[in-house]
Structure 1
Amino acid sequence: MYHYQLGISASEHDHFVIQSDQTNLLQSSAWAKIKDNWGNERVGFYQEDQLVGVASILIQPLPLGFSMLYIPRGPIMDYQNQDLVTFVIRSLKKIAKQHKALFVKFDPSLFLSNQMIGQEKTEASDVEAVITALTKQGVEWTGPTKDMAENIQPRFQANIHKEFFTEQNLSKSTRQAIRTARNKRIQVQFGGTELLDDFASLMKKTEARKSIHLRGRDYYEKLLTTYQGQSYITLSTLDLEARKTSLVQDLEKNQAEAEKFTEKTKPGKIENNQKEKERLEEELQFLEEHLQAGLRTVPLSGTLTLEFGGTSENVYAGMDEEFRRYQPAILTWYETAQHAFDRGASWQNMGGIENSLDGGLYHFKSKFNPIIEEFVGEFNLPTNFLYPLVNKAYKIRKKLRSK
């Protein structure tokens, strides 16, 4: 016999999620504390006395006392067990009625396909059976959506797995970018709230550059404190004085080389020397302008990472575009992933990418040899006769907000 229980403990819930092959940050009990503008209900599904499924449900209030229930990357259960799936769906309907929910939306951590960059795609045939079984119970599948904005969570993500991640396995151009950043004396550090001001400033610059609305310092602080001990900021910085000193030394070497040129010196060598001199002088001028403005050590790029149950999520990243020449983002993301694996993570999710697998997010994240994972997407479980009208309004609102 199956039964469900509301309000199970955070420890019981999290233990089950971590032991599952569907482990993910969004089903950790602490995620509801981040989304504290939603309500939350933790439910456990039992077979006799054994816990066989869980769901951390977010509850979004709607007008007229109604609500919408959302289970991000859940429920966590064995989707091949038809009896269990049937029971969970029936239970969600009952829970929805308690909260006057018009529908339940969920997007389980199941994959339609996965693909290593440069290799053939692997299809997951068993997930098709899950879709069929759910639709027979009146659940609507939103299908293989084409646009990132059509789903709450990205349907495609770039996930680096520890066993495939080494600097040597990266492409030649990516390795060169990492060397360039290191050679230009970029320093990378890991920390927590003490790095928040610099990280938040980078996010503001990213927000302005991309003309998008991002979170503020308080939200980033909430992430770090809620997942205390399971979170970190990776920050790359540049000491302008140190870099200037290095450039002056390089310029002196360049001039010393030029003084040794004779009539027999090959024109190509002279030309290369002159180009190097111009590059050094241009960068020195760039640095001097910032030093004159009172800057000394500047943040260039940063990421914010959360960990849960052996997984790692790069949830936010920002960069100062003015210092793009130093290749800070590639070094920062590389060091972020390496730090995650050093701390015991088995994989690090770099976040969503365009569904078309062609765009800025895809091309940047593909530099790190990720596995491109295609989630099954969203399901809607109607629980009120008003659902068709509300769902139509929901789609229109989401489309407008994505513009």
Structure 2
Amino acid sequence: MSIADTVQPRFQSNVYSYENIEETLPKHTKRLIKDADRRNVQIIHGQGELLDEFSRLVELTESRKGVALRDKEYFKTLLENYPEGSVIFLATCNVYQLDKEAKEKKVQIEKEIDATPENAKKKLHRLEDQLQSVNKDINEYKKIFDEFGQEDKEIAIAGILSIQYGNTCEMLYAGMDERFKKFMPQYKEYVENFKWAFEKGCSWSNMGGVEGTLDDGLTKFKDNFNPTINEFIGEFDIPIYPFMYRLTQKAYKILKSKHM
């Protein structure tokens, strides 16, 4: 039932092919994608030219979660071995432009407030809510500038590396810069990955394993894409030489106990 019990997870979260994948998504996922659009999150895809940024995002995820995934050389090997079926998706955004637009909007709202009579309370309340929201965005962008610098450029904030194999797509590795989690980049990015897979003739796109209890964080995140959970039979050892098998299993246990 646990991912850790086997080499390959028994329970895997797959999104099956649809002509219009957006129509199958839950309402809250559509709303999160609109949040990404509001932040002008863009999705690009490619291969080796995106490797540096993708590797950086994976390293950030490793540090945040305290796990060891793979390094740049491994990802490069994957791309080289699947030249026709490999892809890296990156979600990017330009915070400089977002900040510029927010400040322009703030000036416009303040002018409207000054021009609105005091007895138009409903309109004033709406404008004040808008002003509060835009000020919140500006403060958020300021924190990002403090870390990244205030440059007019696209920043990679999330990424996925996927492999098409036969009529399936395996979404193998993903990374995200946690400082941009409010931009909701992964939701828009995953959908673009699904579209890419289905356009290449894949029957389904595999987001990877989940716990058999279906109550873990991975399951909850992947449920945002209305997947089918496929349960596999599991893994078995077939001893060709039973006597040698028993000896090696005993030796393996002894060796493992020494390293624990």
State the TM-score, normalizing by the size of structure 2: 0.89
* Number of the residue aligned with 1:218: 73
Q: How does 1:86-235 map to 2 (within 5 A)?
A: 146-163=1-18, 166-235=21-90
Deviation string for 1:176-223 (max 9, x for gaps)?
A: 111111121111011000000000000000000110011100000101
**1:356 pairs with one of 213, 235, 243:** 213
User: How far apart are the structure 2 equivalents of 1:336 and 1:357?
Assistant: 23
> Is contact 2:96-2:152 (8 Å) kept?
no
Deviation string for 1:224-257 (max 9, x for gaps)?
A: 1101111100111112222222222222232233
User: How far apart are the structure 2 equivalents of 1:276 and 1:364?
Assistant: 27
* Number of the residue aligned with 2:195: 338
Deviation string for 1:19-59 (max 9, x for gaps)?
A: xxxxxxxxxxxxxxxxxxxxxxxxxxxxxxxxxxxxxxxxx
Secondary structure of the 2:67 match is: coil
Deviation string for 1:306-327 (max 9, x for gaps)?
A: 0111211101111100110100
User: How far apart are the structure 2 equivalents of 1:362 and 1:311?
Assistant: 20
Q: How does 1:237-386 map to 2 (within 5 A)?
A: 237-264=92-119, 265-266=121-122, 268-269=125-126, 271-292=128-149, 296-382=153-239, 383-386=241-244
Deviation at 1:275, TM superposition (A): 2.4
> Is contact 1:240-1:291 (8 Å) kept?
no
User: How far apart are the structure 1 equivalents of 2:243 and 2:32?
Assistant: 56
Q: Does the C-alpha gap of structure 1 residues 261 and 389 become closer, same or farther in structure 2, counting only changes over 3 Å?
A: farther
Deviation at 1:169, TM superposition (A): 1.9
User: How far apart are the structure 2 equivalents of 1:327 and 1:203?
Assistant: 17
Structure with bigger gyration radius: 1
User: How far apart are the structure 2 equivalents of 1:205 and 1:215?
Assistant: 12
User: How far apart are the structure 2 equivalents of 1:363 and 1:191?
Assistant: 28
> Is contact 2:110-2:131 (8 Å) kept?
no
> Is contact 2:85-2:164 (8 Å) kept?
yes
> Is contact 2:97-2:152 (8 Å) kept?
no
The runs of at least 4 consecutive aligned structure 1 residues that moved more than 4 Å come to: 392-401
Q: Give the residue type in structure 2 aligned to 1:180.
A: D
Secondary structure of the 2:234 match is: coil
Q: Does the C-alpha gap of structure 1 residues 399 and 376 become closer, same or farther in structure 2, counting only changes over 3 Å?
A: farther
> Is contact 1:170-1:367 (8 Å) kept?
yes
> Is contact 1:160-1:348 (8 Å) kept?
yes
> Is contact 1:149-1:398 (8 Å) kept?
no
Q: How many residues are treated as equivalent by the alignment? A: 257
User: How far apart are the structure 2 equivalents of 1:169 and 1:237?
Assistant: 25
Q: Give the residue type in structure 1 aligned to 2:27.
A: K
User: How far apart are the structure 1 equivalents of 2:74 and 2:170?
Assistant: 16
**2:245 pairs with one of 378, 381, 387:** 387
Deviation at 1:271, TM superposition (A): 4.7
Structure 1 residue ranges without an equivalent (≥5): 1-145
Identity score, percent: 35
User: How far apart are the structure 1 equivalents of 2:256 and 2:202?
Assistant: 34
User: How far apart are the structure 1 equivalents of 2:191 and 2:254?
Assistant: 38
Deviation at 1:291, TM superposition (A): 5.0
Deviation at 1:274, TM superposition (A): 4.3
Deviation at 1:328, TM superposition (A): 0.7
> Is contact 1:302-1:317 (8 Å) kept?
yes
Deviation string for 1:246-278 (max 9, x for gaps)?
A: 222222232233223432213743552342243
Q: Give the residue type in structure 2 aligned to 1:260.
A: A
Q: Give the residue type in structure 1 aligned to 2:46.
A: G
State the TM-score, normalizing by the size of structure 1: 0.59
Whichever structure has more strand as a proportion of its residues is 1
User: How far apart are the structure 2 equivalents of 1:306 and 1:374?
Assistant: 21
> Is contact 2:106-2:131 (8 Å) kept?
no
Q: Which structure carries more relative contact order (alpha carbon 8 Å, separation 6+)?
A: 2
Structure 2 residue ranges without an equivalent (≥5): none
CA-based RMSD of the aligned residues comes to 2.6
Deviation at 1:387, TM superposition (A): 2.7
